Structure 1
Amino acid sequence: MNILLVDDEPLVRTSMARMIAHLAPAHRIAEAEDGEEALEALEAEPFDLVITDIRMPAVNGLELAKRIRAKWPELFVVMLTGHADFQYAQEAIRYQVTEYLLKPVSIDHIQSVIATAEQELKQRRSAELVGRLRTRSLLEKRVQDLFYELPLPYYDESLFPPFDRFALYTFRVSEAGELGRTARFAIKNVAEDVLAPVGAPVVVAADRAVTAVLFVPPGGGEAVDDAKLRSLAADVERAAKQSAKLETAGAFGGVSAELRDLKALYRRSVEGLGEELGDAHAVEPEAACASADGAGAAADGQMHRIVRAALELIGERYAEELTLTSIAEALYVSPNYLSSLFKAETGSTFTHHLTKARMTKAKQLLRETNLKIYAICEQVGYADQAHFSRMFKTLEGMSPYEYRTKTNI
């Protein structure tokens, strides 16, 4: 967190800076001697928390808070004063000051202020991330729809980044099965990294290929000509070989300024890889419907491709010591990113889907086999039978033994 201390008394600023550095050494602390200098600092770089005195020359603390609220409404502001004046407190509340503290401020009060700001920032950033993930997932789906010239709702046009033209590339790897799926996600990440400095890439990874649409921002055309755009396919291939140790073939579909041309560019890129590729982004029905709870949540193709792949892995490997981290590593994404995607796309956690998949299999074994309950417990990934029975009863409202008895009547 970036913290700005504002006070016209140097000793007060220095003392408080040392106190915060001791309490929270990971945070960056800057100082300003009055409100005017503080505004200059805020213009120069972003801050998360401002702790300011009220009585200062030039721009005082209340005026500073007013200007901060007008220009940086998300910024946390804490007021300090040596005067227990109710009028000041009222003014501070008007400008949505986070807290109003009297000098001298105790270590406990400062620690509480910092902890509150950290927690609110964490919650805010988490909400923003989920929002971005939802938007990104929907944009990928809309781009994929345009590969097949499906109608694009008028309200979805706002999803697309500003552009004056776009380029399209399709990449294919030779690996098959789980290795091929993992390779495609690696290629997706590589393509995003290579193309991002030029524009706004939207990369779709499906069953047999990875297609990237690079939206060149308005004005970017002067610095990036068509020859440069064409060369980016080879750049992605080289980066994939160097960073992911993957041999991949890429094809350039072309450049256009009209979204309606996406299908033609996509087809051209597919043909450039070989006609046998066919509909590289058609989702196989069985794979699309493979969700951990059997509900077919991804049957309409709208679920994010990483979540679909994660659910497939859960369905295949539920009996193993499966964790969010191990799944994330298999998909070349971070655990935090995967966790956020699960929540955004399904409304539930990774653990919920893993438990549901295990219990679905356990119910099948209870109905269709004579295996002992401890054996079923082991086959669905639980080492502790008592824990398995508790989880089963929580989800099904009855014990495994009662379920078997009821369903075999």
Structure 2
Amino acid sequence: MNILMVDDEKIIREGIKRTLANRFPQYRVFLAAGPEEAVVRLRSERIDIVLTDILMPGMSGLEMMNLTAASYPCVKWVVISAHSEFSYAQEAVRLGAKDYLLKPIGKEVLIEMIEKLGAEIAREKELTEEAELLRVNQKFLREAVFQRWASGLDIGRIDMKPFMDSHPYFHLIMVKMESEKIVHLEHFIIENVLTELIGRYGTGFVAIQDNKSLLGLVTLNEGVALAALLEELRGHLIKYLRIPFQIMHSERIEDSNAIPAEVQRMRQASSTQVYEHYASGGDQAVEVAQQYIRTHYHADLSLEKVSSIVYLNPVYFSQLFKQKTGSGFKEYVIGLRMDQAKKLLLNPKLKLADIAERIGYQDIRHFSQLFRKKFGETPSEFRQKQDNGVTKEPI
């Protein structure tokens, strides 16, 4: 039997592992410091019991439990908490937890619980192991074949007609992420949320397209609108994901042979569609970037440089910046520099070369061209009008 212990406190993880290893040397005990490590273990090992702390950075144990229910229905969950609040215990029971333990956990209580769950798991395995193996294998085979077919790749002599007979009409839903890092947890979240919603709104399945995108197929129940599913999907992803994402979908499809072309269309559309991001994080990133630009307008302000300051991908940062400010990044920087140039031009002691350098330009000609493009006159013409006491426009 395999047991997974999830807790951000190392001393607790190690302590529980020692207790279980001494009493149950035949069991394998895996450790995870948080939900992301836990997801990797759940995917790579056949876990029977998960002991999870409730309060952890990033995602709570209850949220992780809720998200994994559809994919790992046979896992026995035990929730551990330092808080005796009834609401936590109530939510844990609602989600199907087998037990709710309070810290510090007594060794005898822990051993007794594992013995009880071990006997329960042994009985269930005898009844379900063969059926579960067949179900999982069919699921992976179906997804692998559908993934190749949807991507326009060769599937040999496999006939997709029997496969698609249960879906005479359907919609496709593609979710694509934007991240520089490997996204195990986010990938897992999308797969589980979309699978659950498809099951609630109709019938279908989810297939992994690549390490940054997933494709769902759904035949909606009578009277159900796709917009309702998409709205709920977006709400869940905004809540749980911490990276930008896109949601694309097809119209109703009645010819399954149209799938490869439709998938290709959505992939092309993703290159121009703005990525979504949880609102507070997006606003904060742009505010930090604007503050950095205001204090470093005289230095190198490339898109790559500023996006790295707020830890965002340059393409996504550019889209987000325009969405939040109404101006493109380059346009915003030039506007800020030109406004500063106007103020400096009021000082007759400063040469144009000095002003250009102070706002980040080494080339006077380039500076003059940008100034004229924005204000309709050269820096020299602007300065001369100020010297003559004529103000063309308020500064």
Whether TM exceeds 0.5 here: the answer is no
TM-score scaled by length of structure 2 = 0.36
TM-score scaled by length of structure 1 = 0.34
